[in-house]
Structure 1
Amino acid sequence: MDIKQLYYLCALERERHFGRAAEACCITQPTLSMRIKQLESELGMPLVRRGKQFEGFTPAGERVLDRARILLSHYDNLKLEVEAMKGSLAGTVRLGLVPLSCMDLSPVLALLRQRYPGVSFELNDMTADAILQGLEKNSLDIGGGFFEPEVLARLNSLALPEQGVVVAFGPGWREQLPVVPTPADLAELPLCLPKTGMYFRRYLDTVFARQGIRLQPMLASNSVSRLMRAVHSGLGCALIPAGSALFAELPGVEIRPLALPTMARIGALVMRNDEQASPLSKGFFEVAKEVWQA
């Protein structure tokens, strides 16, 4: 057994396809298949369920994968720790972000890159549940979104200041909105909202329902860019978490605070809180604290 065989096995789990896994590992598909079969032979048990194509992992394969992730995490962290001893930090910080949390990480990325030119970033739009799973499986270093307090208690977290909710609107809507609108003021306006089922949308539905208002958006989407385009064109008004630089930077778009109760979930950055936390994630958190707690 060698470390590359474990990399190949974990790549197959990520890609769920032999060809794509081989491509991700920069080897040929026959080589990847051969190396995984060698691992199965050494262990004396099948790890992968094969048909005409990849069909998943056997129960033994799932257990080996769990161990492989831990071993690879320690191996990768060891290499990063050695670089840190030399006074440098290098590698790719893998981030998972809930899009509608509207976090602007640009100042953090810029400062970290300024200090450590060898650092790069991979940004992924994900749900909060997928982020937590990615942290657990070591496929992510940092997560950002809305999380329950009990979730934050078991992770290393950096809570963002509670900023509430704002209304973003484009040309033609200024005169129809008070300086600080209420849910009743928005009841008859064409709204652009997250899709049903997303946490922020559930929060909005609950708050408005308490005032006897049922939200029936003119446009619903899980894409921040589509919501931004709708607002920018004057099609409707969007309800978004406060602090978003994205909407505020659109030409002609204005932002007004909305009087709503605080969300149960907390906007935060999160990382693992154990020995498997990578030097990259620790370095990212240190810089994030500097930027947001200054």
Structure 2
Amino acid sequence: MIHKLEMFIAVAREGHFGRAAESLGLTQPTLSTGIKQLEEMLGVQLIFRGSRYGGLTPEGQRALVWARQLVSDARAFRQEMRTARHGLSGIVRLAVIPTALTWAAQLSARFTAAHPNVRFTILSRTSVEILSMLENLEVDAGLSYLDNEPLGRVTMETLYQEKYTVVCHRESDIALQERVEWADLAGERLCLLTPNMQNRRIINENFMAAGISPEAQVESNSTVVLAAHVQAGGWITVLPIDMARFLCAGKPELVIRELEGQGMDHAVGLVAPYREPHTPVLTALIAETRALSKKGVSSA
């Protein structure tokens, strides 16, 4: 039953039988048979289909809510029993906004040092994608913004407050300034994250508050690409201070200047599906996030 519910969730997530089968490591006929058997067991049609996937029926939409809950409960039950026998173990699937990847490394390093039988799969995703992946049970938790977009019914644990910096080449005019404000970036050759990134939307809001509307000549969903363009010369980017320090380490030609006159800092932290109780691994992850946050505050 649980396996068939996982098939149903995959089809609803992918909107395509072939992609759903591939995501589960199944053949398409096996998946189609599983969905038909589930419909027979429940006595309702869950999916509209002719020559291709046609969406969920009204019954299927209601069933999807239950399917997610039941699969989540089954996974939690298995993990609870495994923990009782072997201690914390398994894989934590973590989706992270690109600007928080350095914090994800700190969190996973601390967690695996305390629990060596736990492994991590860390994926770089946008904040919107993270919420979708949590809902579809594709990941166990995420690191994302906590206060800039609606998150729904989730468990949250603040990790840090995001502060912004300019990263520029040491030969640029900006590098010669002791103080840099948002308005100083007017007319500069900018490379920034893509507009679908929440970080970019926050940066745009700061530009608007400073009365300027600069255009980025280069956009990327990778912070590494942005730093590489600055290193190549001529470009300037805006990054959170921790990511900027990581990307500029060992590169004397890159200069970091903290931006002044910015608006509110934005909280970034752990986001997980709301449930009581949490799985043992997720409970430990929340506690480790809290401990790392306190360490970061005390060392700031």
Fold match by TM threshold 0.5:
yes
Determine the structure 2 residue equivalent to 1:212.
Answer: 211
C-alpha distance 145-25 of structure 1, shift in aligned 2 (>3 A): closer
- The answer to whether the 8 A contact 2:144-2:269 is kept is yes
Residue range with higher mean Cα deviation, 40-49 or 15-24:
15-24
C-alpha separation between the residues in 2 aligned to 1:197 and 1:41?
A: 41
Pairing of 1:197-208 with structure 2 (within 5 A): 198-208=197-207
C-alpha distance 197-83 of structure 1, shift in aligned 2 (>3 A): closer
Pairing of 1:22-101 with structure 2 (within 5 A): 22-101=21-100
Shift of 1:107: 2.1
Determine the structure 1 residue equivalent to 2:235.
Answer: 236
Determine the structure 1 residue equivalent to 2:298.
Answer: none
C-alpha distance 21-136 of structure 1, shift in aligned 2 (>3 A): closer
Pairing of 1:1-294 with structure 2 (within 5 A): 2-101=1-100, 103-148=102-147, 155-173=154-172, 176-196=175-195, 198-244=197-243, 245-249=245-249, 251-252=251-252, 253-263=254-264, 265-275=266-276, 277-294=278-295
C-alpha separation between the residues in 2 aligned to 1:21 and 1:203?
A: 34
Structure 1 runs not aligned, ≥5 long: none
- The answer to whether the 8 A contact 2:158-2:290 is kept is no
C-alpha separation between the residues in 1 aligned to 2:149 and 2:216?
A: 32
Structure 2 letter corresponding to 1:288: T
Shift of 1:99: 1.6
C-alpha separation between the residues in 2 aligned to 1:70 and 1:213?
A: 47
- The answer to whether the 8 A contact 2:47-2:56 is kept is yes
C-alpha distance 163-149 of structure 1, shift in aligned 2 (>3 A): closer
C-alpha distance 23-197 of structure 1, shift in aligned 2 (>3 A): closer
C-alpha distance 220-28 of structure 1, shift in aligned 2 (>3 A): closer
- The answer to whether the 8 A contact 1:165-1:242 is kept is yes
C-alpha separation between the residues in 2 aligned to 1:259 and 1:106?
A: 28
2:92 alignment partner, SS class: strand
Shift of 1:263: 3.1
Shift of 1:78: 0.6
- What are the superposed Cα offsets for residues 179-207 of structure 1, whole Å, 9 maximum, x if unpaired? 23112332232121223354333333333
C-alpha separation between the residues in 1 aligned to 2:152 and 2:55?
A: 33
Shift of 1:171: 4.6
- What are the superposed Cα offsets for residues 48-78 of structure 1, whole Å, 9 maximum, x if unpaired? 2222222322221121121111011111001
Structure 2 letter corresponding to 1:120: R
List, as ranges, runs of 4+ consecutive aligned residues in structure 1 with deviation greater than 6 Å: none
- What are the superposed Cα offsets for residues 101-135 of structure 1, whole Å, 9 maximum, x if unpaired? 45432122122223333322222333323323333
Shift of 1:30: 1.7
2:5 alignment partner, SS class: helix
C-alpha distance 62-183 of structure 1, shift in aligned 2 (>3 A): same
C-alpha distance 118-15 of structure 1, shift in aligned 2 (>3 A): farther
Identity of counterpart residues, as a percentage?
31
- What are the superposed Cα offsets for residues 248-279 of structure 1, whole Å, 9 maximum, x if unpaired? 33623222211032436422222234226433
Question: TM-score, normalised on structure 2?
Answer: 0.85
Question: TM-score, normalised on structure 1?
Answer: 0.87
C-alpha distance 123-262 of structure 1, shift in aligned 2 (>3 A): same
Shift of 1:44: 2.1
- The answer to whether the 8 A contact 1:168-1:238 is kept is yes
C-alpha distance 165-20 of structure 1, shift in aligned 2 (>3 A): same
1:293 alignment partner, SS class: helix
1:105 alignment partner, SS class: helix
- The answer to whether the 8 A contact 2:166-2:257 is kept is yes
Structure 1 letter corresponding to 2:191: C
C-alpha separation between the residues in 1 aligned to 2:19 and 2:209?
A: 49
